[in-house]
């Protein structure tokens, strides 16, 4: 079967049809536990990008923790949902939504996301949602958005089923790709506290990683 063209229209349709089997209705528990209670967790303040933020649960969590957050998504439908779930920021919460393609540097620039503008990036099910042929470009884009000393925190779905999305990955290859791109690993391990999936079992093969761009 031909691979789908994973453009804005395709993602909009997933949200409209309710074809959003990834939706948890809350921040992914491994990320929430790590950010709220692990001594290695990045600390606010700082500007954090959440690419492919969907309904924005992780973006809103980061804003509640005291970060200034940009939730980015290609899909207008996703960001309508994000605004419905979490509002548009307030004087207390610094939370902004930006509709743009992560790979479109001009659009990111126009939205205030230039090179080295982010203290951190949080990844959750965007990496597995893009065409695997674009992974090197995804990593390069994240690295150029991070300031020296900036961090990438991610929860990655390392399943080995064919096709996608969600596309699988191998934990060793994934870690090697981030290292090749110049990031230093501070943490890379099977995730704890994985969410219970719609089949009633914990989501399997999730890996949690924290990398830093050398200062």
Ligand X SMILES: C[S@@+](CC[C@H](N)C(=O)[O-])C[C@H]1O[C@@H](n2cnc3c(N)ncnc32)[C@H](O)[C@@H]1O
Q: How far is the CB of 105 from ligand X (least distance, A)?
A: 12
Identity of the residue, 35 or 74, whose beta carbon is nearer to ligand X in the bound complex: 74
Q: How far is the CB of 121 from ligand X (least distance, A)?
A: 12
Choices 46-54, 140-148, 180-188, 199-207 (CB under 6 A): range interacting with ligand X: 46-54
Residue of the chain from 29, 30, 42, 52 that contacts ligand X (CB under 6 A): 52
Choices 30-38, 47-55, 86-94, 108-116 (CB under 6 A): range interacting with ligand X: 47-55
Cβ-contact 203, 197 below 8 angstroms:
yes
Identity of the residue, 106 or 179, whose beta carbon is nearer to ligand X in the bound complex: 106
Cβ-contact 70, 64 below 8 angstroms:
no
Q: Which residues partner with 154 through β-bridges? A: 123, 209
Q: How far is the CB of 132 from ligand X (least distance, A)?
A: 12
Residue of the chain from 29, 30, 42, 51 that contacts ligand X (CB under 6 A): 51
Cβ-contact 161, 170 below 8 angstroms:
no
Q: How far is the CB of 99 from ligand X (least distance, A)?
A: 9
Report if residue 195 touches ligand X, rule: CB under 6 A. Answer: no
User: How far is 15 from 143, CA to CA, in rounded Å?
Assistant: 29
Q: Provide Rg for the chain, Cα atoms.
A: 16
Cβ-contact 61, 25 below 8 angstroms:
no
Q: How far is the CB of 82 from ligand X (least distance, A)?
A: 9
What does residue 93 show for φ and ψ, rounded to 5 degrees?
A: -100, 130
DSSP 156-199: EE----SS-SSP---HHHHHHHHHHTT-EEEEEEE-SSPPB-TT
Name residues contacting ligand X, limited to 71-130 (CB under 6 A): 72-75, 78, 101-103, 124-126, 129-130
Crossing angle (nearest 10°) for helices 8-17 and 76-86: 50
Q: How far is the CB of 53 from ligand X (least distance, A)?
A: 6
For ligand X, the binding residues (CB under 6 A) are 6, 11, 22-23, 51-55, 72-75, 78, 101-103, 124-126, 129-130
């Amino acid at each position: 079967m031909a691979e789908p063209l994973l453009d804005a229209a395709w993602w909009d349709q997933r949200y409209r049809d309710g074809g959003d089997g990834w939706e948890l209705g809350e921040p992914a528990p491994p990320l929430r536990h790590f950010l709220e209670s692990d001594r290695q967790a990045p600390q606010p303040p700082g500007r954090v990008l959440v690419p492919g933020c969907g309904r924005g649960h992780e973006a809103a969590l980061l804003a509640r923790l005291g970060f200034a957050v940009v939730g980015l998504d290609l899909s207008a439908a996703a960001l309508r949902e994000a605004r419905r779930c979490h509002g548009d920021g307030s004087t207390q919460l610094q939370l902004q939504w930006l509709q743009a393609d992560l790979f479109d540097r001009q659009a990111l620039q126009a939205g205030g996301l230039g090179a080295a503008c982010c203290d951190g990036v949080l990844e959750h099910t965007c990496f597995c949602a893009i065409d695997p042929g674009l992974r090197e470009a995804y990593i390069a884009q994240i690295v150029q958005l991070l300031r020296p000393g900036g961090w990438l925190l991610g929860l990655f779905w390392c399943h080995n089923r064919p096709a996608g999305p969600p596309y699988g990955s191998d934990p060793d290859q994934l870690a090697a790709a981030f290292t090749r791109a110049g990031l230093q690993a501070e943490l890379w391990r099977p995730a704890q506290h994985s969410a219970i999936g719609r089949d009633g079992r914990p989501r399997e093969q999730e890996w949690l990683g924290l990398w830093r761009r050398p200062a």
